[in-house]
Structure 1
Amino acid sequence: MTATVRTDLYPTRITGESVPQSRIDPTVWGEALSPLDKEQLDHYESNGYLVLDELLSDEEVQTYLAEVKRLSEDPAVRASERAVLEPDSNQMRSLFEVEKVSELFAELLHSPRLTDIARQVLGSEVYIHQSRVNYKPGFGGAPFHWHSDFETWHSEDGMPQPRAFSLSISLTANFPFNGPLMVIPGSHKLFFPTIGETPPDYHKESLQVASPSVGSPDHRHLTRMADEHGIAQITGDAGSAVMFDSNMLHGSNGNLSPFARSNIFIVYNSVENTLEAPFAAVKPRPQHISNREFPSVSST
C-alpha cells in the first residue's frame, strides 16, 4: 500500500540558506464589497494591513479594560496554561483562548461586526484559530521579535495556506513610545523560510522570550524588505483596530513607558483551511494556542 505524500506549499524550518518564495495564494479571497469597501480592500490587498478607526466605543473600551484587569487578577486564570507571564516579572504578558474564560469577550469575538469582515476577506465561513489578550504593561512589557504568524502556524500548527488574518483591537492608546505594532507593508507577498529545527514544546520559549531561537526571518531579508517598503508603526486611540494578513512581517518594541499597551487579538481562519499535522514540528501546539475543535462562528 502506497502512503500519500503531502504537498508542502511553504517549506520552512529548513537547513542551509533561506530563499524567499513568492506567495502563491491571494490575500483577499472573497468578492463581496461590504462591510469593507473597495478602497479598504485594495489597501489591505496591496499593503497587507488595514486600520479600522473607532471600532469600539469609549464605553465598550472601559468595559473590556475592566474585564482584562479582572482576568489578570484572577488566581485561577493566572495559574492556568492559558496564561503567559512576562519573562522578568510576574505580570501577565498574554492570556490565550479568552472566549473560553470570558463571556464578554466571547460575545465580541463572535459578533457580526467582526465575523462579517472575516467572511468577506477569507471568502468562506470562518472560525477562531487563536485568541488572546496582550497586556504589554508599562515599565517592562517585553518586545515581540520580527516574524510572520503564518510561518509559525504552518510549521507548528499545520495550517496549510495563509487564508487567515489577525485583528488587534486596542484597549489603550498606541503611542510611538509604548511598543506599538510595527509592520513591513507588502511583506505578505513573499514567504520567508526560517532556519533551524523546531525544538520540542517550542511554544514555551517562543511565547515568552523576546528573541526566540527559531522562527524569525534572516536579518538580511528583514533589512532588504524594510529598505524597499519601509516600516509602518500602528499608533492610534483606544477603540481603534488593525487587521493584518497572516503572512505579514511584524513585531513590536518593548514598553519602557509608564503606559500599558493592551489589546484584544483574534485570528480568524477559513473553515476551508483547517489544520493538519504540523509541517515542521513533532506534534501540534496545545489546543488553547491552536484551535482544532470548533464550530464556525456563524453557528455559535
Structure 2
Amino acid sequence: MRLTPQQLEQFDRDGYLFFPGLFTPEETRTLTDAVPDLYARREAYNVREKGSDAVRTNFAAHLTSEPFARLARHPRMVQPVMDLFDEEVYMHQFKINGKMAFEGDVWQWHQDYGTWLNDDMMPTERAMNVAIFLDDVNEFNGPLMFIPGSHKKGVVEAKHDLTTTSYPLWTVDNELIAKLVERAGGKDGGIVSPKGPAGSMILFHSCLVHASSSNLSPWNRVSVYLSLCAVSNHIRRFKRPEYIAHRDFTPIACLPDDCLLQPYPVDVPWKNGMPASALATTSEPFDQLKKAA
C-alpha cells in the first residue's frame, strides 16, 4: 500500500492517517483468535492492569505467535512507513494493548518518542506507530485521542509517571495539554478520536500527543501497535528489556498482501518460551558497549 500525495500532505499537517476497515473481517479474525492464548501466559511480556488480572499490554507477540509474526511483515502496515521515511525500517516495539471491558485503565497524555528518547536513546523521531483495531472502537470503550498537529512541536517536556498505572510512561502535564488543544482548535477539533470497525488502521507520528480514557463499557478495545523505526535511527541503549525495546535492527522484509490468510513460513524464535537474555538490561549507551567489546 502506497500513500498518495494528498495523504502525505495530510499526515504532515495532522500527524496521523486513519484507514477505516482496511483489513477484512477474515484477516482480523486470524489475529483476534490468537489473542486469548497470548494473554493467558504468565510471562514478563504480559503487563497486567494495576490491581487486576486483565492484560494491559502484551509485548513481542511477533516473536511468539505466527499470525502476529505475519502481521509484523504486512505490506499494508510497513510500506507506508517506508514511504514516509524513504528508508527501510525495523521493529522497535510490538504491542497488543488490552483495554478490556470494565477493566481497561487510562493511557495518560504522552508522546511515544519521548519514551524512546529518554529510555532507549533513539536519536531522532524517525519512528512511527501503526495501529490496527482488533475490536470495533466506539466513543464508549476508550478510543485513542489525538491532538492534531501536536507533532509539529517536536519533543515536549514530560515527567516519568511511575504510579498512575501499572506501566511507567513519560507523560505531558495538564497545562501544556490545554495549550496544545487550544492551539489545535479547542472545542472545534483540538482533540480527535478515530473510531471504526475492527480491521481499521491508524498511522501516527511518534511525536503526536495522544491518550485514551478508561474503558467502562462492556466491550473490549484490543488493538495491535507496530512501532517501526528507520534502520539508521536504531536505539543506542538497552535500558529496557528486549521484549519491550527490540535489539534486532534487521530491515523488515514484507510478505505478500494475503499473508494473514495464507500460511507463509515465518520465524517465531520465542514460540517455546522467552530467553533469559530478553530480560537483560544495561544503562550504558550501545556505542560505548561496542567500544568495550
TM-score interval (norm. to shorter): 0.7 to 0.9
SS for the counterpart of 1:63 is helix
Deviation at 1:88, TM superposition (A): 2.4
Deviation at 1:218, TM superposition (A): 2.5
Paired residues of 1:125 and 1:298 also in contact (CA < 8 A): no
1:206–1:110 CA distance, 2 compared to 1 (3 A): farther
Aligned equivalents of 2:245, 2:2: Cα separation in 1? 27
Residues 52-63 of structure 1 mapped to structure 2, 5 A cutoff: 52-63=19-30
Provide Cα deviations, 1:22-77, integer angstroms capped at 9, x if missing partner.
xxxxxxxxxxxx6111111111111000001222111112221111122122xxxx
Counterpart residue number, 2:228:
268
Aligned equivalents of 2:107, 2:173: Cα separation in 1? 16
Counterpart of 1:44, as a letter, is F
SS for the counterpart of 2:9 is helix
Counterpart residue number, 1:208:
166
Aligned equivalents of 2:24, 2:178: Cα separation in 1? 38
Paired residues of 1:146 and 1:216 also in contact (CA < 8 A): yes
Q: Aligned match of 1:50 in 17, 36, 48?
A: 17
Aligned equivalents of 1:261, 1:70: Cα separation in 2? 17
Aligned equivalents of 1:195, 1:134: Cα separation in 2? 22
Q: Aligned match of 1:293 in 222, 226, 248?
A: 248
Q: Aligned match of 1:245 in 190, 196, 205?
A: 205
Query: Does residue 66 of structure 1 match 2:26?
Result: no
Paired residues of 1:152 and 1:215 also in contact (CA < 8 A): yes
SS for the counterpart of 1:232 is coil
Provide Cα deviations, 1:207-234, integer angstroms capped at 9, x if missing partner.
725xx5x621222211011112100011
Query: Does residue 219 of structure 1 match 2:177?
Result: no
Counterpart residue number, 1:228:
183
Counterpart residue number, 1:128:
91
Counterpart of 1:93, as a letter, is R
Counterpart residue number, 1:25:
none
**257-266 vs 83-92, which moves further:** 83-92
Provide Cα deviations, 1:63-115, integer angstroms capped at 9, x if missing partner.
21111122122xxxx32111101112111111001101101111111122222
Mark the runs of 5 or more structure 2 residues left unpaired by the alignment.
185-189, 255-265, 267-293
Counterpart residue number, 2:274:
none
Query: Does residue 35 of structure 1 match 2:2?
Result: yes
SS for the counterpart of 1:272 is helix
Aligned equivalents of 1:237, 1:195: Cα separation in 2? 33
Residues 53-202 of structure 1 mapped to structure 2, 5 A cutoff: 53-73=20-40, 78-194=41-157
Aligned residue-pair number: 250
Counterpart residue number, 2:277:
none
Aligned equivalents of 1:114, 1:192: Cα separation in 2? 25
1:82–1:171 CA distance, 2 compared to 1 (3 A): same
Deviation at 1:293, TM superposition (A): 2.1
Q: Scaled by the length of structure 2, what TM-score is found?
A: 0.81
Mark the runs of 5 or more structure 1 residues left unpaired by the alignment.
1-33, 278-282
Paired residues of 2:38 and 2:61 also in contact (CA < 8 A): no
Counterpart residue number, 1:14:
none
Paired residues of 1:192 and 1:217 also in contact (CA < 8 A): no
Paired residues of 2:106 and 2:165 also in contact (CA < 8 A): no
Q: Scaled by the length of structure 1, what TM-score is found?
A: 0.79
1:111–1:195 CA distance, 2 compared to 1 (3 A): closer
Paired residues of 2:132 and 2:202 also in contact (CA < 8 A): yes
Aligned equivalents of 1:173, 1:274: Cα separation in 2? 33
Identical counterparts, % of pairs: 33
